[in-house]
Structure 1
Amino acid sequence: MHFSTLQYTSLQTIADTFNLAFSDYVIPMHFTEVQLIEKLTRDGINLEHSVGAFDGEKLVGFILQGLGQWEGLLSAYNGGTGVIPAYRGRKITQQLYAYCIPQLKAAGVEQCLLEVVTRNQVAVKTYKAIGFTIARTLESYKGEINTQSPTDLPSGIIYREVVDLNWALAETFWDYQPSWGYNFAAIQRIRQFTRLVGVYNKEHLIGYGAIHENTNRVAQFAIAPAYRRKGLGLHLFQKLATGKTAPLSVINVDDKSEVTLNFLDDIGLTPFLQQYEMTLKI
């Protein structure tokens, strides 16, 4: 077995290996080559920094990684680790990190970042053995939005689709920091697949929502604190759900943001996935 970066490995090979590795995962996943490209783009994955384990010419394990700033540090985000079933139990994930960390350090990377499903205790233990620690717990919700009409919306409130937002202002509405795959940089990377809806009091931005059209995932949403508990959030989600036949989902909400979790419960969504965000200083 040998290890190498993935820039010379075809996307179809990576997709096939990904699908086999995740075929029996706690939440089975399957990507076409086109869907994989969208995921890699959203997560900022760079195949020059992604690594694979090969048995001869056969890709049997991988870590998909992208570099970027996270909490003030140049970080390597793990957008997916997988080992195909026949090769598990050989500590391939540990070997992949042992192989890539020196290269990441040479590129100036200061920390590694990933998310792992909390009930996947085998993976959690593996990452802890490598040296990762839990930074926070993230909750994901999905379901059908309540169809009730918001009552007594304040006068002058306008909802409209927009090309761009005042992101610096939008950030002041947050109750928690979005995860890597749903932050501002991620939205911009797949802007062509993302619909933005701004909430305005006359011409002043007081809220917004961003939804990935291909997956029905709400990447971000927020209402300015002074305008909450007035029905604006429910109306925003109803706007985001317009024309959708499949349920919406909201991914990776910080579990310390009780106001957000309560709101999602109130509008009809239910929790379906819990993940740990984990970091490793290198």
Structure 2
Amino acid sequence: MIFKKMSELSADDMVSLWNKGFEGYFINSTLNLDKFLSRTVNEELSLEHSLVVYENSEPIGFVMNGFRVIEGKKVAWNGGTGIAAEHRGKGIGKKLMERNLQLYREQGVDIALLEALIQNEAAKKLYQSVGYDITEQLICLQHTETLDASLLQPNVPSRYVTKRGLPVEVKGLSFYRHLSAWQTQWASIKDGECIIISDEEDEVVGYALFKRVFGEDGKLATIALYQCESIPGRADAVNILKAVLSEVFAPFSSSCKRITMNIIDSNTKLVGLLERLGFTTFVEQVHMIRHL
């Protein structure tokens, strides 16, 4: 068993290995070449520092890695691990993870992140065996009909000031969640937007990171919400979240697809609001962290 860089494979072989690694997975993760390359670029994955494991000169598994510096710490993300079906259950995954952690140390990584589907007990057990801890449960919700705007009316009259901007603008907020799931961090949200909410005293009290996607006909097709937070300790937290969601999900008359990506389930006020709006869960994951 030997390990090589993902970058040593041809593009077609990378895609083939990815699809073999996720064959029979809980959700369909099949990619074509265009989608594989797009994902690699958009999620800042490094082919040079991603690993492929070989047996008898045949690539049989992989782990893809992304790296960025967050608050002075080098953070690595496992952006996909797969073993070809016929080689599963032989301990290869653990050897691959151990070699990957060695690579992280070589790259000076301080914190390692990953997500795993909540029902994937084998993956969770594997990651825990090499030192990862579950820190949060993540949920993805969706809604495909028009929204009832009355459900986002504040409980009491309130005056908030709304500002739209670029995702990077939330980076300096005291309550921004720097170590949220990788794809929900401001640096991952290419072509995205932010909403920042301030109160009457000009204190920033809430924010959201989201993206709007338009179809070929120019019509709004999807709104994806990645983070939505109110500053801790506010009695008007629900009203703050309502104000944020009113901006993110407008126009309410649109029947575009609205989704949330990897929202933490401990944000109960937000999850409750979304469920009352008619959002339903379609994926649940766990967020896992390892300190090196």
Partners of 1:278 and 1:136 in 2: how far apart? 7
Deviations 1:186-210 (A, max 9, x none): 12xx23xx3x2646679x7864441
Using the TM superposition, name which of 5-14 and 263-272 deviates more: 5-14
Q: How far 1:56 moved relative to its partner?
A: 4.6
Q: State the one-letter code of the partner of 1:108.
A: G
Alignment partner of 2:170 out of 167, 172, 187: 167
Partners of 1:45 and 1:281 in 2: how far apart? 20
Question: Are residues 1:217 and 2:224 paired?
Answer: yes
Question: Are residues 1:274 and 2:277 paired?
Answer: no
Q: How does 1:56-205 map to 2 (within 5 A)?
A: 56-69=56-69, 73-144=73-144, 146-150=146-150, 162=165, 166-168=169-171, 171-172=173-174, 178-187=180-189, 190-191=190-191, 194=192, 196=193, 198=195
What secondary structure does 1:119 align onto?
A: coil
What secondary structure does 1:66 align onto?
A: strand
Q: How far 1:83 moved relative to its partner?
A: 0.8
What secondary structure does 1:28 align onto?
A: coil
Structure 1 gaps of 5+ residues are none
1:236 corresponds in structure 2 to 247
Q: State the one-letter code of the partner of 2:226.
A: A
TM-score, normalised to structure 2's length? 0.78
Partners of 2:261 and 2:185 in 1: how far apart? 11
Partners of 2:75 and 2:248 in 1: how far apart? 32
Sort the Cα spacing of 1:162 and 1:134 in 2 relative to 1 into closer, same or farther, 3 A: closer
Partners of 1:238 and 1:111 in 2: how far apart? 33
Alignment check: 8 A CA contact 1:218 1:249 kept: yes
Sort the Cα spacing of 1:36 and 1:147 in 2 relative to 1 into closer, same or farther, 3 A: same
Partners of 1:122 and 1:186 in 2: how far apart? 28
Sort the Cα spacing of 1:186 and 1:220 in 2 relative to 1 into closer, same or farther, 3 A: same
Q: How far 1:157 moved relative to its partner?
A: 7.1
Partners of 2:245 and 2:271 in 1: how far apart? 13
Q: State the one-letter code of the partner of 1:256.
A: S
Alignment check: 8 A CA contact 1:176 1:254 kept: no
Q: How far 1:88 moved relative to its partner?
A: 0.9
Deviations 1:219-255 (A, max 9, x none): 233467658427434422432788664x322121222
1:35 corresponds in structure 2 to 35
Q: How does 1:40-59 map to 2 (within 5 A)?
A: 40-59=40-59
Q: How far 1:135 moved relative to its partner?
A: 2.0
Q: State the one-letter code of the partner of 1:61.
A: G
2:217 corresponds in structure 1 to none
TM-score, normalised to structure 1's length? 0.80
Question: Are residues 1:264 and 2:267 paired?
Answer: no
Sort the Cα spacing of 1:121 and 1:145 in 2 relative to 1 into closer, same or farther, 3 A: same
Partners of 1:148 and 1:106 in 2: how far apart? 52
Partners of 2:112 and 2:208 in 1: how far apart? 30
Partners of 1:197 and 1:29 in 2: how far apart? 28
What secondary structure does 1:218 align onto?
A: strand
Q: State the one-letter code of the partner of 2:188.
A: A
1:3 corresponds in structure 2 to 3
Sort the Cα spacing of 1:34 and 1:148 in 2 relative to 1 into closer, same or farther, 3 A: same
1:254 corresponds in structure 2 to 264
2:26 corresponds in structure 1 to 26
What secondary structure does 2:289 align onto?
A: strand
Partners of 1:96 and 1:174 in 2: how far apart? 33
Partners of 1:44 and 1:97 in 2: how far apart? 20
* Superposition RMSD in Å: 3.4
